[in-house]
Structure 1
Amino acid sequence: MTTLTFDSLNPATGEVVGSHPKQSADAVRESVGRAEQAATWWAGLAPAERRRRLLDYKAVLTQHLKELAGLVHDETGKPVGDATLEIVLAITHLDWAARNADRVLGRRRVSTGMIGFNLAATLEYLPLGVVGVIGPWNYPVFTPMGSIAYALAAGNAVVFKPSELTPGVGVRLAELFAESVPEQPVFQTVTGLGETGALLAKDPRVKKVAFTGSTATAKRVMAACAENLTPIVAECGGKDAFIVDADADLKAAADACLWGAMSNAGQTCVGVERVYVVDAVYETFMRELSDRVATVKAGEDYGPITMPGQLDIIRRHIDDATKSGKVVTGGPDSVRAPYVDPVIVEDVPEDSPAVREETFGPTITVRRTRDAQQALELANASAYGLAGTVFSGNARRAMELARLMRTGMTAVNSVISFAGVPALPFGGIGDSGFGRIHGADGLREFARPKAISRQRFAMPGMNLTSFSRGPKELERLIRLVTFLHGRRKR
């Protein structure tokens, strides 16, 4: 029987990077079956043994960093330097997850309160079993490893379906893991198109799915998971806002804004797409931004648009923005497949697709606002809620704006910095999805809480959970509760 294959291409050149199997339903089922057995073995290891193997995997990834960066470059087109940065971030997250899993998830005693003073109570977080990870193409190492590393550290086995645009990266990640953990197939990669991911999501032996991709695709994955009530963590798109306050460091703000918008050709879920600048500094900020963008070149400072179909969306948004707003740089001619030159447009109406919909390209809209409060209101007027940025010289106001920004994450006087802090959870609200990867929340996302209460001794005259309970015992309970909770606080 002939196995069907598909090619991964270098989006900048169209050259074939590699060929991979479109794995059949039987192949996916077999992978999940192997993972189910491996999960039992992996969960049975002492936490120190899992930690040792994961730290060894970290070392192997580091030793192959240049090779992986080259492969990411070939399959996505992004500069090798950007590929290197995302792999380094993935390595730091793997290190944190391995070192902190037992502290976050291990068994601990919890208070029982006065009513249960005769009890001992413990809480721990146990592995789920097999976790399915469906990854994206824009950051093919950093993003899926945010789920893979934390799921493995929590004691689960992982079956990973990488994007069909970057399958080689996904295959290599699993191959390198096998060097550190040769005993069992704890981490496997299956390759294919969308139907392969659907097969993985529908398998009842998969106990959780971690998905990263568009909001529309997330809804389809959720529908597949619903067949077996399989829980899902979904990290979807964004339309992230960047606020520049009146006392911000404008040079630093312009520099960060430009990188946040244009790096990786704008193909970043937490990238900058909308900019709101307080009126008092608007002209100065725009001069800084315009001077800087003139030095940024597609094909040199960032790579091509990896997914050809995205070009149509980018072109439509640029056409819409330039018809209704004022062009600062670029325009419809900026789209020269597979590249898109930087595009900045001012005064685009807030109800336009260029402002409301995710563009996922090297484009930004900029709007002047009365003050920081209006900027915050406009930033929050979005169906998305992934991340955002605040630049301000007033630390207290900056923190308050950051707290009130309707997002899962906000960077202050920096851009996308939260992604490099392993202890911080990563995820959004609204159309940007739900659930979290990274940090303690990310570890708990791939575990199930197990609560145990143990009676240490019988409570004399207070056997409340028995049919032999009498009115005297009930009266004692009422007196105790009244003593503990019956006094009003004034």
Structure 2
Amino acid sequence: MTQLDTAPVTGGTRPRHHDHFIDGDWVRSSGEIIERRAPATGLLVSQVAAGTADTVDRAVAAARRAFEDDRWSQVSGFERAAVLHRVADLISTHAETLARLDAEEVGKPILVARADVAGAAQLTRYAAGLAIQMQGTTHTNNGPEHTGLVLREAAGVVGLITPWNFPALILSQKLPLALAAGCTVVVKPSELTSSSAAAIARLYAEAGLPDGVLNVVTGDGRAGAALAEHPDVDVLSFTGSTATGRRIIAASAGNLKKLSLELGGKAATVVFPDADLDAAAAGVVFGGFFNNGECCVAQSRLLVHTDIAEEFLAAVRERTAALRVGQPLDETTDVGALIHEAHLRAVVGAIDRAEEAGATVLVGGSRASSPQLAGGSFLVPTVLDGVTPQMAAFSDEIFGPVLTASRFRTTEEALALANGVDYGLSNSVWSRDIDTALPFARGLRSGSVYVNTVIDGPPTMPFGGYKTSGIGREMGQAGFEEFTELKSVSIRTGTRPGRFTIGTPPAS
């Protein structure tokens, strides 16, 4: 069984080192090494090779060779599914190790990291099923002499650029689906959280994935830019900020590569007076502070009806104050460390600006300062009340454990507030009345809507955004099809010459 260089660094032990994985080999870079310090402790935990444009060229060339020599794209769906099932088994076997890697490097609570890894295994099994079911259509409606075939085929070489907040999970929203379709892949994980991507690459190799089908290039945005610009990448899937997404759209223009972009969000949780208020309060706190609030689908805006606002906010404040800020590997931690010190300062700055604009801090608002958290980037979970659409906190993605509260009087006002931001990734609505909840859900301009739940849904459902939250979809049949192309084949039988009149010789 594969031995993973993954033991969490708790003090004094050597940091992990990750090279590039190209064409089945671990390739040591002769260039810069990027160091990663755990956001909860400041300890050096990993070192990754900084990929260059030349490294990306080498990885893409390996992926192209693997695609064109049919070692993966032309094998049966059953063979691809068998490999993916073995990978899912290995992810489950190494689940605790993978979870501890992500908890340490991201700063997220270990309980969240375990759920991420369980989701990664589930997504991989789902992709295995899609590999078996990949199919096209036939068309016989153009007369008895014509048969049309629409073939669904692997799109080619795929570039995957994954973010730091859900390293194992978001990689698994993309990678197994691309492989299920028969594509070959180059992954560029975040330089902040590369360990689980390297570990998962080892598991794919152990499961029997042919050399060159999966390649991993570590490094910073320069490697990501080289992958986005590369003329021999057919599809690029990216998860990250809207600003970077715009740059990727521009970078992809060279060969007009197919893009799937999951970008930022500023989700609203809308609570009507007839909701189950206790369940809604629990959902608001979970949605706002899940994964330290460093989540594109974080339900970071609370919109609550004025008739219940005071009572409901009191319940939210009480639940928020009870959250335990702690070390990521502590089983009792609810909120861990933010990704790095600069990000913590940015989140605190957003809170300060909201206060200056007239918002009220109901709870939190400052750095967590207990002795057990010294040396880490911890923030007390924060609720801001009285946030209006004119404030930056209402519309800007803060990406931290900060929940803003605003009030509404009518359904129409609530819908306008929920839709009144540039993002459209997810929203949620709480009401016992289906005649309220369903029309409201249909009126929301977002790719996902949660009704009486939050951040919920199986891998069979597509995920993606409206507006500046991105283009394309991940997961579900739609996510699988992002990595495919359609080819129409027209077959004519019977008498043909009568159809071709141009260039017909004159009668003698």
| TM-score of the pair, normalised by structure 2 | 0.87
Matching residue within 228, 243, 261 for 1:234: 261
**Aligned AA for 1:301?**
D
Cα distance between partner residues in 2 of 1:295 and 1:310: 24
Bigger Cα displacement from structure 2, 222-231 vs 240-249: 222-231
Query: CA offsets per residue over residues 252-303 of structure 1, 9 Å max, x none?
Result: 0010110111121100000011111122222221122122112012223111
1:84 aligns with 2:114: yes
1:319 aligns with 2:352: yes
After superposition, where does 1:9-48 map in structure 2 within 5 Å? 9-39=37-67, 40-48=70-78
In structure 2, what is the equivalent of residue 145 of structure 1?
A: 172
Cα distance between partner residues in 2 of 1:169 and 1:354: 33
SS at match of 1:339: coil
Matching residue within 387, 392, 395 for 1:356: 395
Note if contact 2:423-2:466 (Cα within 8 Å) is conserved in structure 1: yes
Query: CA offsets per residue over residues 406-457 of structure 1, 9 Å max, x none?
Result: 0011111110103xx1111111011111111100001110110112222244
1:71 aligns with 2:104: no
Note if contact 1:260-1:271 (Cα within 8 Å) is conserved in structure 2: yes
Note the residue ranges of structure 1 that are not aligned, 5 or more in a row: 470-490
SS at match of 1:121: strand
Bigger Cα displacement from structure 2, 329-338 vs 443-452: 329-338
In structure 2, what is the equivalent of residue 441 of structure 1?
A: 478
Identify if the C-alpha distance between structure 1 residues 43 and 349 changes in structure 2 by more than 3 Å, giving closer, same or farther.
Answer: same
Cα distance between partner residues in 1 of 2:224 and 2:321: 41
Cα distance between partner residues in 1 of 2:438 and 2:73: 41
Note if contact 2:348-2:365 (Cα within 8 Å) is conserved in structure 1: no
CA RMSD of aligned residues (A): 2.0
**Aligned AA for 1:107?**
G
**Aligned AA for 1:119?**
H
**Aligned AA for 2:171?**
P
Cα distance between partner residues in 1 of 2:41 and 2:99: 17
Matching residue within 309, 320, 324 for 1:293: 320
Percent of aligned positions that are identical: 34
SS at match of 1:122: strand
Note if contact 2:366-2:380 (Cα within 8 Å) is conserved in structure 1: no
| TM-score of the pair, normalised by structure 1 | 0.90
After superposition, where does 1:87-486 map in structure 2 within 5 Å? 87-103=117-133, 105-110=134-139, 112-113=140-141, 115-116=142-143, 118-299=145-326, 300-323=333-356, 324-332=358-366, 338-418=377-457, 421-458=458-495, 466-467=501-502
Query: CA offsets per residue over residues 373-420 of structure 1, 9 Å max, x none?
Result: 3211110011101001111101232122112110011111110103xx
1:52 aligns with 2:82: yes
Query: CA offsets per residue over residues 41-77 of structure 1, 9 Å max, x none?
Result: 1101111111111111111111110110111112111
Cα distance between partner residues in 2 of 1:382 and 1:334: 30
Deviation at 1:130, TM superposition (A): 1.0
**Aligned AA for 1:174?**
A
Deviation at 1:117, TM superposition (A): 5.0
Deviation at 1:464, TM superposition (A): 6.1
SS at match of 1:393: coil
Cα distance between partner residues in 2 of 1:88 and 1:396: 35
Q: How many residues align?
A: 462
Identify if the C-alpha distance between structure 1 residues 396 and 118 changes in structure 2 by more than 3 Å, giving closer, same or farther.
Answer: farther
**Aligned AA for 2:81?**
R
SS at match of 2:167: coil
- Greater percentage in helix: 1
**Aligned AA for 1:278?**
H
Bigger Cα displacement from structure 2, 377-386 vs 12-21: 12-21
Bigger Cα displacement from structure 2, 19-28 vs 73-82: 19-28
SS at match of 1:285: helix
In structure 2, what is the equivalent of residue 477 of structure 1?
A: none
**Aligned AA for 1:360?**
F
Cα distance between partner residues in 2 of 1:292 and 1:312: 25
Query: CA offsets per residue over residues 10-35 of structure 1, 9 Å max, x none?
Result: 11111111211112332221111111
Note the residue ranges of structure 2 that are not aligned, 5 or more in a row: 1-28, 327-332
